[in-house]
Amino acid sequence: MKFIHTADLHLGSPFKGLTNLPSAIRQAVHNSIYQAFDTLVAQAIDLKVDFIVIAGDEFDNVERDLQAQLYLQQKFLELAQHHIPVFLIYGNHDYLTSSQAIVSYPSNVHVFGPQISTVTLKLVSGLRIAVSGFSYDQNHLTANKAQSYPARLDNVDYQIGILHGEIGQTNQNNYAPFSVEDLQSKGYDYWALGHIHQRQIINKNPYIVYPGNLQGRHRKETGAKGYYLVEWDGQQTNLEFRAVAPIIWQNQQLDVARIQDLDTLIKQITQTIANKQNTLVELTFTNYEKLSTTIQGLIDSGELLATLQKNAQSEHFNYIYRFHRQFTTKTIYQAIDEPFWKQAAQDVFTKANLQQHLGKLQQVAAIRDVYQNPDFLAKLQQTAIDIISQNKMED
């Protein structure tokens, strides 16, 4: 018996932190989530899996982009033609609503409702499989739903629990908090989790697994992304991670301490970011203060990055979307005591101060998307540190 465990497709998702992409790369980025699921479906058919489990957040938001809905419907129809069932739940991003603007799925797809329920499936091999789960019906769910799952059925060969949530305490976490002990107590053979985008195996007896998302969507979702192929031989469960993301986010570093000319810098950049896969790269220059002021000027002005971006290939790309400067020196703290600086930073770099200075500019969607990014204030603070540090060194 074998099945695919995936989660967090986030179809219709915008990619954060990317601006002014060349049109061909922008289109490749937009298509990447769909391409990743195309690959999953093709492999499911080729591998003749018994079924697919999708553990929530199929869509990026509760409105469910129509193009994304029709795409998923078509993919499910392809799976139906090959007699591959799909068991899915909705998560906190795409929770169930009373909206009528939702397309229907073919009969091979079972969507769990807001109440925990269990369905059984008899495979061609004769094995009886049970799957238990529920869908969110609101964005936040502070109750421990795992405790309400039924115990393992006696008359099945294998039972799977599907849960979109995170380890935590009841009423202290917003996404169906649970403990490993909660899941272990049910006696299931496998827990198919969703919500956390970094793949991880929390437990092996039974397997409690986050597959991560299929395609990274921003700088914190780095590395290979894909799904788990799960096989059971009647006694033991085995997992194989299969990467399907066509674009990889990377955070790379380049030590520029010994670089003395522009040709060497460009060559070193090219070698550092080289990858056989398409990549979106944030490149950090370490020991930045060691570069000559003229080369720093090309970087600080954005000219070097803009030139490299303009010359980037589109069919196969290792595209740098951001330079980051890292200073070794702590000169800044020689002028300002570190505790006072940190306190000043906490007082100045606040969302309230930012909103006050932006004023009506907050109504511009592009600006609002930038400052609402969870990383934005931290990046703003770091940029200020870099500038002050650089100015101090030039004194």
* 28 and 140 inside one domain: yes
* 66 and 95 inside one domain: yes
Pairing of strands 207-210, 190-194: parallel
Residue 324: name the closest of 249, 220, 253 by CA: 253
* 208 and 255 inside one domain: no
* 239 and 255 inside one domain: no
> Of 190, 225, 243, which residue constitutes the final position of a domain?
243
Q: Could you identify the residue written with the tokens 């049910």?
A: 186
Task: Put the strands of the sheet holding 237-243 in their side by side order.
Answer: 109-111, 86-89, 51-55, 2-6, 226-232, 237-243
* 191 and 300 inside one domain: no
> Of 202, 220, 243, which residue constitutes the final position of a domain?
243
Stated length of the chain: 395
User: What is the residue type of 6?
Assistant: T
Residues 6+ apart with CB under 8 A from 112: 87, 88, 89, 133, 134, 135, 162
Residue 255: name the closest of 286, 281, 293 by CA: 286
pLDDT at 386: 59
* 127 and 214 inside one domain: yes
Q: What one-character-per-residue DSSP string does 82-126 give?
A: TT--EEEE--SSS---S-S------TTEEE--SS-EEEEEE-TTS
Ranges of the chain whose pLDDT falls below 50:
392-395
Helix (H) / strand (E) containing 339: helix 338-348
Pairing of strands 237-243, 226-232: antiparallel
Structural domain span for residue 170: 2-243
Q: Which two tokens stand for residue 88?
A: 């899915």
> Of 188, 220, 243, which residue constitutes the final position of a domain?
243
3-state helix, strand, coil in the chain (%, to 5): 35, 25, 40
* 207 and 305 inside one domain: no
* 62 and 161 inside one domain: yes
Strand positions, DSSP E, the chain: 2-6, 51-55, 86-89, 109-111, 117-122, 128-133, 158-164, 190-194, 200-204, 207-210, 226-232, 237-243, 247-255, 278-286, 318-325
pLDDT at 359: 75
pLDDT, tens only, 35-52? 999 999 999 999 999 999
* Total of domains in the chain: 2
Cβ–Cβ < 8 Å for 145, 134: yes
* 175 and 204 inside one domain: yes
Using CB atoms within 10 Å of the CB of residue 29, give its burial: 0 to 12 exposed, 13 to 18 middle, 19+ buried. Answer: buried
User: Residue 321 CB: number of other CB atoms within 10 A?
Assistant: 20
pLDDT at 363: 65
CATH number for the domain spanning 40: value is 3.60.21.10
Cα–Cα distance measured from residue 270 to residue 283, given in angstroms and rounded to the nearest whole number: 11
Cα–Cα distance measured from residue 175 to residue 138, given in angstroms and rounded to the nearest whole number: 10
* 189 and 81 inside one domain: yes
Cα–Cα distance measured from residue 229 to residue 51, given in angstroms and rounded to the nearest whole number: 11
* 381 and 275 inside one domain: yes
* 168 and 288 inside one domain: no
User: What is the residue type of 66?
Assistant: L
Q: Could you identify the residue written with the tokens 């989660």?
A: 7
Tell me the whole-structure pTM to 2 decimals.
Answer: 0.82
Cα–Cα distance measured from residue 277 to residue 79, given in angstroms and rounded to the nearest whole number: 28
